[in-house]
Structure 1
Amino acid sequence: MGIIHHIEINVSDLSASKVFWTWLLEELGFSKHQEWEQGFSYKEGDAYIVFVQTADRFLDEPYHRGRTGLNHIAFAVDTKHQVDELYAELQRRGIPLLYPERHPFAGGKEHYAVFFEDPDRIKVEVAARSPFGQTKHIH
């Protein structure tokens, strides 16, 4: 009945976020949806993700996933091989990886995923679809 229509994320540095998210979302099959001076969006199917430059008056307090609000955003890919390819590309790009000592099972022994951070330190997860149609996640 209810599905996600869109998600909007305020970012501290629109240009840095655009570089990061454009590469990642295009890699995951999203296509550019909209772009304007203070933001941009990418779409996959009927859902889209919007990124908007945070107003100067709100930049004094940086984002932290441990506070009330968004903890992380997770995407699913079809195969473990896609997770492995993404992991290698994240390393090449110098993108901060989370839980590298437990990769690719940081979410549990049946959850094959990579965890990393965007320029604002928002945690991002990309997981291979579970063969049982269930997803488990790390907190």
Structure 2
Amino acid sequence: MLHHLEIWVEDLVASTASLGWLLTRLGYRLESQWADGASYAQDKFYIVLESGPDVRKQAHDRLAPGLNHLAFSVATRGEAEMIVREALEHGFTLMFPEKHPYAGGPEHYAAYLEDAAGFEVELVATQ
């Protein structure tokens, strides 16, 4: 099991407005904040968004080696669609709109979102 995940971001303010919002929308709680980062926790697992002095100032490229996307479970298809609508107001765009919600295949109900920094998230409806 993962202990934590640390994501370095170019613009902490923008990433907390998009990814941070999404994490709290998905039930994570803002655990701590400091000048260069924020930590979001759920149970014993936490995700850090950080933009300290060691972070190179460049956009995230999900097609380069490294992180492609984060996938989160949501309870229902209705919840996935509600989060998509809200996410559009928080800096996300819907990826593969012509295939939505089956871009992952006919049996895989999911929404693929990308924020302005290029980070992709997948919301998978479990029911």
- State TM-score, norm by structure 1: 0.84
Conservation of the 8 A alpha-carbon contact between 2:100 and 2:110: yes
Q: Deviations over 1:7-31 (max 9, x none)?
A: 0001010101111123211110110
5+ residue gaps in structure 1?
132-139
Q: Which residue of 1 aligns with 2:112?
A: 115
RMSD value over aligned CA atoms?
Answer: 1.7
Q: Could you say which residue in structure 1 is the equivalent of 2:72? A: 75
Q: Which portions of structure 1, spanning 4 or more consecutive aligned residues, are displaced by more than 4 angstroms?
A: none
> 1:134 aligns to what?
none
Higher relative contact order (CA 8 A, sep 6+): 2
* Number of aligned positions between the proteins: 127
* Between 69-78 and 115-124, the greater mean CA deviation after superposition: 115-124
Question: Per-residue displacement from partner, 1:86-117 (whole Å, max 9, x unpaired)?
Answer: 12223344522110110011111111111111
Paired residues of 2:109 and 2:124 also in contact (CA < 8 A): yes
Q: Name 1:43's counterpart in structure 2.
A: 41
Q: Which of these residues, 98, 103, 116, is aligned with residue 100 of structure 2?
A: 103
Alpha-carbon offset, residue 118 of structure 1: 2.2
Q: Which has the larger radius of gyration?
A: 1
Counterparts of 2:51 and 2:91 in 1: how far apart (Å)? 23
